[in-house]
A and B are shown apart, each in its own frame.
Chain A
Amino acid sequence: MRSNDPPTDILSAAEMQASLGKLTDVDFKRLDLIALVHTKGRRIAAEELLQEAFVRALEGKRRCPRNIGVVKFLEGVMRSLWSGLAKGAKGRPAVPLTATGDDKTIEIADPSPPQDRALAATQLWAAVLTLFADDPLAQRIVQATAEGFEGKELWSMLDIDETTYESTRRKILRRITARFPDGASL
């Protein structure tokens, strides 16, 4: 951004408040799903992550470019907050997880020490794979994605076309998010 760009590229505090007031049922549902995915289905942590993202947006600590949409903007804030938490928690049993950002300290409940989180991740990963035991293609896409493959490289490795890939991805999304029953973990 050029230094003399007008501030109109960014939503003002009042505009952000108005935008949040206009969030639809689908927007709220989408935000729930995003927060649950980031927190791996932990309901309390997901709500706290959402709350902190809303606080930052309302306070203007995070500024929303006018052209990206509020839901996408909030996703970015949540991603950044959660990433900061993960880095801050590495190697120490934070109870609860604590991270500092800007001039505020946020606390998001995740009382598990690193070894417990690793165990939980192992169990969760096994649960994800089991979820697709009846669908070998979906399971292979999940595994390949986890290995870091994406896009064309992934389709070609699995010998599928883009349409098949996209439709299977949707199936993966539906099945995993359906396992977040109002916040219960996978």
Chain B
Amino acid sequence: MTGQTKPEQALDRLADLLVEDILSATDDEILAEAAEGPGTRGTLSRSALQKAKAIIADRASAEGSAAAAVQGADEAWSISEIRDVLSGKKRTILPDLMRALLSNAELGRTFRAAVAELVAAGRGFLIPSVASASTSDDDFERHFDGGSIRVRKLSSRPGQYGVSISMFDAARRPVVLLVEQATDYAIQDLSNVPFTGSVPLILDTANAEDAKVLRLLRDPDSKGAILPEAD
């Protein structure tokens, strides 16, 4: 550990001890941590695994793998496929669609059109623009026909906001949040977040995508949609 300061060495040794404990702890002990504090929900590793699979699919696609191309190629998404994904017929490849959206502006337009079609068909909820900006940037709500979105700043976590998407019908789990303006949009995949009548999210302004969702939700001119799981 040459070159490390004493506190760095101390933290490394403590980390070794903690990792050993985490590996040897029983499932109940791991779950019990949630009772002691906010804890983690496994969201980091779930997200990391999805991204890793996307990377592997991209690499395989670049090598000409036809199987991977089906999942990895951005240009393969048609509006009907996107509708199928959003309406639940192909929900398992939603993460692939989300990843593709990050790098494909044309796909973003197609996606927004597909969402608009589903909302028009009554298979999603429109989040309307509001008459005026909220009096507070740090604690506000947006409403839609099927429920509401509450945003509040977390005093204990600088830069982070708690977002709770509540549904009037607790059987209708929301899976996608879209917020958009004329020139920008943000999409949040909610499909892996626990749902018990509401979806709790923590958005961090240090994360560009999270910050964009928050900015757009604050903007009274923005609109959006909540797509629930298909019946």
A85 within 8 A of B: no
Q: Is the interface of B mostly helix, strand, loop or mixed?
A: helix
B-contacting residues, A16-49, CB 8 Å: 20, 23-38, 40, 43-44, 46-48
Q: Given A37-B15, A173-B21, A51–B41 Cβ distance below 8 Å? A: no
Give the complex CA separation of A124 and B98 in angstroms. Answer: 36
For the complex, give the distance between the alpha carbons of A25 and B53 in Å: 18
Number of interface residues, chain B, beta carbon within 8 A: 50
- Within the complex, what minimum Cβ distance (angstroms) separates A163 from chain B? 15
> Given A30-B25, A37-B19, A75-B23, list of 18 further CB < 8 A pairs?
A26-B30, A29-B31, A29-B41, A30-B22, A31-B45, A35-B48, A44-B207, A51-B48, A54-B52, A55-B52, A55-B55, A75-B19, A118-B7, A121-B5, A122-B7, A177-B39, A183-B44, A184-B160
Residue from A20, A26, A40, A125 in contact with B49 in the complex, judged by beta carbons closer than 8 Å: A20
Q: In the complex, what residues of A have CB within 8 A of residue B42's CB?
A: 25-29, 31-32
**10 residue pairs from A and B, CB less than 8 Å apart:** A23-B49, A29-B30, A34-B19, A50-B48, A54-B52, A55-B55, A58-B52, A124-B7, A173-B21, A182-B41
A-contact bits for B96-120, CB 8 A (1 contact / 0 none): 0000000000000000000000000
When A90-B3, A174-B33, A177-B18 are in contact, do A146 and B38 touch as well, CB less than 8 Å?
Answer: no
Q: Quick one: which of B13, B45, B46, B207 contacts A148, CB cutoff 8 A?
A: B13
A30 and B43 contact, CB distance less than 8 A: no
Question: Is A178 at the interface (CB under 8 A from chain B)?
Answer: yes
**A59 interface residue, CB < 8 Å from B?**
yes
How far is B47's CA from A17's CA once the two chains are assembled, in angstroms?
Answer: 16
Q: Give the interface of B toward A (CB within 8 A).
A: 3, 5, 7-11, 13-15, 17-19, 21-23, 25, 27, 29-33, 36-49, 51-53, 55-56, 59, 156-157, 160, 202, 204, 206-207
Q: What B residues does A125 contact at CB under 8 A?
A: 7, 10-11
Q: What does the 1/0 interface line of A141-178 toward B look like (CB < 8 Å)?
A: 01101111010000000000000000001101111111
Contact between A173 and B25, CB atoms less than 8 A apart: yes
A28-B3 contact given A125-B10, A181-B37, CB 8 Å threshold = no
Complex Cα–Cα for A58 and B57 (A): 10
